[in-house]
Structure 1
Amino acid sequence: MLDRAGARREDGDDDRMSMAADIGTLPAPAAGKTGRAASRVLGRLGTLEVRLARSATEVRAAQELRYRVFFEEMSAKASRRQQASRRDSDSFDRFCDHLLVVETASGTDAIVGTYRLMLPEGAARAGGYYTAGEFRIEELLKRHPDKRFLELGRSCVLKEYRSKRTVELLWQGIWAYVLEHRVDVLFGCASLEGDDPALLAAPLALLGSAAPAPAEWRVGALEGRAVPLPANAVPADAKRALGLLPPLLKGYLRIGGVIGPEAVVDRQFGTVDVLVVLPVDNINARYVTYYGSDAGRRFVA
């Protein structure tokens, strides 16, 4: 989602990453090497906190959470290496920061939600963005050479914590990160569960009609994989179609995100993916006020 944004990978990449993690060589979180954000709590709601992963152990815990949600709860198909390690990992993980929602009530800092964040510096080291495996993202980057992009992906939350509070915390953490790293544009894949576009016609029509990307932010799918979104085709039951969208995708639409004109079917994960682009300048002013122009709304009992 961006809600699983970017949960696709090659088995070879997964094998190399899993072996590196197994022998304790998984690098520290990207921002933890150079930034201030990894050392502080970015937000708190009751007993839940949001912050960046502070160690390779916490990154592995986030990968284990992703495995539980993507492979055990949802319909993704795990490789033998993933089944053995019981972690969702790929070759991009080491070049990203990992945003965590942590439950502090038990005193064990259990990770109940996660989001993967990749800055341009990480993408340069990784050889590109993960989203490029489905969408022609390079066209967008070339169109805006003066903009600083942040790729969001691998989002998931434990079922019992899928609530407004957890989503708010994820957004608080993302907003703090955006300000910390002077990000201009957020982007990533968002997944709708199910790999038959015909059965998802209503939510796809809603996305195509409610938030179509203007030309400057429009990005198509890779050749041979494109599933065009219906344009100007509002579903008969728009309320029901909206209810079929994942919570974080609905959040992107409320805040000011726009949707690319084409979707991609991901057979391995049993999803249909769309591309979301969110220029920071487009973010609805009331959300900036809510979270704080300096991300100052961090601690709520």
Structure 2
Amino acid sequence: MQILERGRYRARFAGNQADITASQALREKAFDGAIKGLEADTFDTRCDHVLVEETSSGKLVASYRLMQISGRDICKSYSAQYYDLSALQGFQGPFLELGRFCIHPDHNDPEILRVAWAMMTRVVDGQGITMLFGCSSFAGCDATRHKDAFSMLKARHLAPDQWRPLVKSAEVVGFEDVPVSSKALRSLPSLLRTYLAMGGWVSDHAVVDREMNTLHVFVGVEIAAIPEARKRLLRAVAG
């Protein structure tokens, strides 16, 4: 079982059902109590699960799941439940879908995120992934709370026309053309900021997910387009 250790934390793949169950329990805790009981779905059985733990105690502090998929099958991905991804069927090379990323609400050490991304970097390099994608969530279903963030995404980070996801869900929020606020970047979820730092792009709308009490946007990262300095940093942490 592949393990990455860095300082206080280690990342590893789930080795059994108990590991997956622990990840599902953390997801329930981290997702603002929107789900009661284990947060699980049918995609869990199709994914590899990564756990980030405190090295000394073994306490689970973060987790996420990964699913490798081809362009022709991208409409079978988790994200495709909410977005029309047919344009991406023409993108060459294997995809990796990142999902259910969460950090324990009692732990805010930025090193946790770095270790999580380091393990993901190993997977991307090892499997020859050409695009990383997934959904990035904003807390709550009130779009006015995130108006500044959405305006910045529209102004600076929209997907290229040839790859842009189209509307599929019944309830969506379009991004408005309003001046970009200086506080917009700070209001982005940390996972989304990391995506954007790697040159990621987003859909032109957010999906309202009332079951999870979130608004989420589709995010894609073309691996070849990641700035070289960022690649060197990620690979240095990944060892």
Question: What is the TM-score of this pair, normalised by structure 1?
Answer: 0.74
1:142 to 66, 89, 93: 89
In the comparison of the two structures, how many residue pairs are matched?
A: 238
AA at the equivalent of 1:288: K
Shift in CA distance, 283/234, structure 1 to aligned 2, threshold 3 Å: farther
Q: Which amino acid aligns with 1:297?
A: V
2:149 matched to which residue of 1?
203
Relative distance call for 1:223 and 1:159 in structure 2 (3 A) is closer
Change in CA separation of 1:234 and 1:75 when aligned onto 2, cut-off 3 Å: farther
Identity value in percent = 29
How far apart are the structure 2 equivalents of 1:281 and 1:182? Answer: 11
1:81-96 aligned within 5 A: 83=36, 86-96=37-47
1:193 Cα deviation after fit: 0.8
Q: Which residue of 2 aligns with 1:267?
A: 210
In 2, distance between residues paired with 1:97 and 1:277?
A: 19
Is the 1:75–1:270 contact (alpha carbons within 8 Å) kept by the matching residues of 2? no
Larger RCO: 1 or 2 (CA < 8 Å, sep 6+): 1
Amino acid at match of 2:193: K
8 Å contact from structure 1 (residues 211, 253) kept in 2 = yes
Say if 2:29 and 2:105, in contact at 8 Å, map to a contact too. Answer: no
Larger radius of gyration: 1
Tell me, in whole angstroms, the C-alpha distance in 2 between the residues paired with 1:205 and 1:75.
Answer: 28
Alignment of 1:141-290 (within 5 A): 141-144=88-91, 146-222=92-168, 224-231=170-177, 233-235=178-180, 237-238=181-182, 240-290=183-233
Write 1 or 2 for the structure with the bigger share of strand: 2
For the pair 1:40 / 2:10, whether they are aligned, the reply is: no
Determine the structure 2 residue equivalent to 1:110: 59
User: Can you give the 5+ residue segments of structure 1 that lack an aligned partner in the other structure?
Assistant: 1-38
- Matched letter for residue 58 of structure 1: D
Q: Deviations over 1:120-149 (max 9, x none)?
A: 17x96x981111111112x133222x3211
Deviations 1:154-179 (A, max 9, x none): 01001232232111111101110111
Residues 61-93 of structure 1 deviation map (CA, whole Å, 9 limit, x = unaligned): 1111111111xxx151x3xxxx4xx31111110
Q: Structure 2: 5+ residue runs without aligned partners?
A: none
TM-score w.r.t. structure 2 length?
A: 0.92
CA RMSD of aligned residues (A): 2.0
Deviation sequence 1:16-71 (CA, Å, 0-9, x none): xxxxxxxxxxxxxxxxxxxxxxx1213x221200121111111111111111111x
Counterpart residue number, 2:237: 297
- Structure 2 equivalent of residue 66 of structure 1: 27
